[in-house]
Amino acid sequence: ASADIGLIGLAVMGSNLALNIAEKGYTIAVHNRTAAKIDEFVAEAGELRPRIIGKADLKEFVQAIKAPRSIIIMVKAGKPVDDVIEELLPLLDKGDAILECGNSLYTDTQRRFDYLKPKGIGYLGVGVSGGEEGARHGPSIMVGGSKEQWHNAEPVLKAIAAKFNGEPCCAYLGEGGAGHFVKTIHNGIEYADMQMIAEVYGVMRDGLGMNPKQASDVFKEWNKGPLNSYLIEITGYVLEAIDGPTGKPLVELIVDRAGQKGTGRWSAIVAQEMAVPATAIEGAVAARSLSAAKDQRVAAEAIYGKRQAGGADVSLAELEKALLAGKIAAYAQGFAVLAKASEENGWNLPLGTIAKIWRAGCIIRSRFLDQMAATYDKGDNVNLLVAPDFVTIMKDAHPSLRKVVAAGALGEFPLICLSSALSYFDSYRQARGTANLIQGQRDFFGAHGFEIEGRGPGQHGKWPSTLGN
Ligand code: 6PG
């Protein structure tokens, strides 16, 4: 055996990861269900070819890898992963490990980890972010699962990961499904980031009458400031692109119906399951679902008419700050979900390390994450909204978020994510809320009891037994 590592699944992400690994000087064995793909891949590997061993036979593939083996599987999430595991199982030796690198549901990863553990096979659920480019030249890598086998794969994974100031964006985060859980929340935050940017674009387009080129210039400018991030940068490019055949701005021709493969929704679901408010993430998921209901939206616009209101009374500087404030609220929510899940699953997730490995390579990479890493490194696992560095930014920025959300309400443009972020902030920092009334209502119809300061819980009201209606 001469390969340092193996990889199954030569679709786009798998191929790029394999090339990245070979480029870093490791020898890699590759396998794919459709054998033709293997030959094609090896043939196109150019100068990396000597370090790639293509094997159409699964047994030969496994035998080509040095023991204890690390085998990456990069196939479609769901049943295909279980199928590959079953095929591999009889061919593996104790101490070998499977590294599953797709966007898997973390509970599936946990189940596979528990299934393989008694058989002596390590299982690592690995979140890989950064799209095709990232996989090829440096993704952010979130590892969870068997700690022992992590050490076998660690040098390769750290070598292929993105670097931030020389530090690899790759870390072991916890047992079982921890890595895939963190990737899921990364994607939930990604959804919120993208949606808030899209909402701001909506204000520019519908409230300020800007064309895509003008909006593009603004995003490019913002990318030099506190919003500096991959998503802001690509937004500048998407907005300036021109459609070849018509010469029109491409963005104006793209149908306003967004796809989603599940990870964003899983974050919202898990947040609800753990009773952690993640309204910005939920809003972003809901916005994608609403976008997909195009026919209903067209019909409803015919009933209510197009928006009547005029322009938005907001400046670009206010929009920039609104986005920053919204972003802080969304990240506060995402990290709160991570903190709760860590506690519930006994993962001991290192929040500072997570922020660090998100600083480069992944889709949500940004300058802002460096600041967040510094906050969590100080050891305060508090909600970001009360972390001193972010309090300063928030105090300066929330009035702008408020102004933008108000402009959206009056101007009739939907800001589902930004307004959810603002309501979260306002609820979070309100010492006395309105749940006293909820408690009164609950006691009225269900004798659920309430607490009175100084008298303790379990108090009841004397409610009328018959009502007027
Ligand atoms: C990443 C991305 C990547 C992918 C997701 C998002 O971190 O590199 O999140 O994993 O783009 O599949 O998917 P949807 O938008 O299709 O849900």
Do both 172 and 192 map to the same domain? no
Of 176, 192, 219, which residue is a domain's last? 176
State if residue 139 touches ligand 1 by the CB under 6 angstroms criterion: no
101-105, 159-163, 305-309: range with lowest mean pLDDT: 305-309
pLDDT cut 90: percent of the chain above it: 96
- Structural domain total, the chain: 2
Residue 324 confidence (pLDDT) above 80:
yes
Decide if 333 contacts 327 (C-beta within 8 A).
Answer: no
State if residue 363 touches ligand 1 by the CB under 6 angstroms criterion: yes
Q: What is the pLDDT of residues 70-111, one digit of tens each?
A: 999 999 999 999 999 999 999 999 999 999 999 999 999 999
**Full residue range of the structural domain in which residue 86 is found:** 5-176
151-165, 214-228, 304-318: range with lowest mean pLDDT: 304-318
Do both 158 and 221 map to the same domain? no
Q: What is the pLDDT of residues 407-461, one digit of tens each?
A: 999 999 999 999 999 999 999 999 999 999 999 999 999 999 999 999 999 999 9
Residue 467 confidence (pLDDT) above 80:
no
Of all protein residues, the one whose alpha carbon is nearest to atom 14 of ligand 1 is 260
Residue 469 confidence (pLDDT) above 70:
no
Do both 53 and 111 map to the same domain? yes
Residue 35 confidence (pLDDT) above 70:
yes
**Domain CATH code at residue 243:** 1.10.1040.10
Of 114, 149, 176, which residue is a domain's last? 176
Do both 79 and 209 map to the same domain? no
Residue 379 confidence (pLDDT) above 80:
no
Do both 120 and 199 map to the same domain? no
Does residue 42 sit within a domain? yes
Closest ligand 1 atom to residue 183 Cα is 7
Model pLDDT, residue 275: 98
Position 270 confidence tier, pLDDT thresholds 50, 70, 90: very high
Q: How large is the ipTM?
A: 0.96
Of 155, 176, 197, which residue is a domain's last? 176
Model pLDDT, residue 182: 98
Do both 235 and 351 map to the same domain? yes
Does residue 436 sit within a domain? no
State if residue 140 touches ligand 1 by the CB under 6 angstroms criterion: no
Model pLDDT, residue 55: 97
Do both 319 and 247 map to the same domain? yes
Tell me the two tokens of residue 195.
Answer: 């949606």
Q: Which residues are catalytic?
A: 183, 190
Do both 313 and 229 map to the same domain? yes
Of all protein residues, the one whose alpha carbon is nearest to atom 9 of ligand 1 is 187
Do both 48 and 77 map to the same domain? yes
CA 340–ligand 1 middle distance (angstroms): 23
Q: What is the dihedral of CA 165, 166, 167, 170, to 10 degrees?
A: 110
Other C-beta atoms within 10 Å of 339: how many? 18
Do both 201 and 137 map to the same domain? no
Q: What is the pLDDT of residues 336-364, one digit of tens each?
A: 999 999 999 999 999 999 999 999 999 99
Does residue 366 sit within a domain? yes
Q: What is the pTM of this model?
A: 0.96
**Domain CATH code at residue 81:** 3.40.50.720
Mean pLDDT of 10-26: 97
Model pLDDT, residue 311: 87
Between these two residues, 1 and 119, which has the higher pLDDT value?
119
- Best residue for ligand 1 mutational test, from 137, 261, 364, 365 (most atoms within 8 Å of Cβ): 261
State if residue 226 touches ligand 1 by the CB under 6 angstroms criterion: no
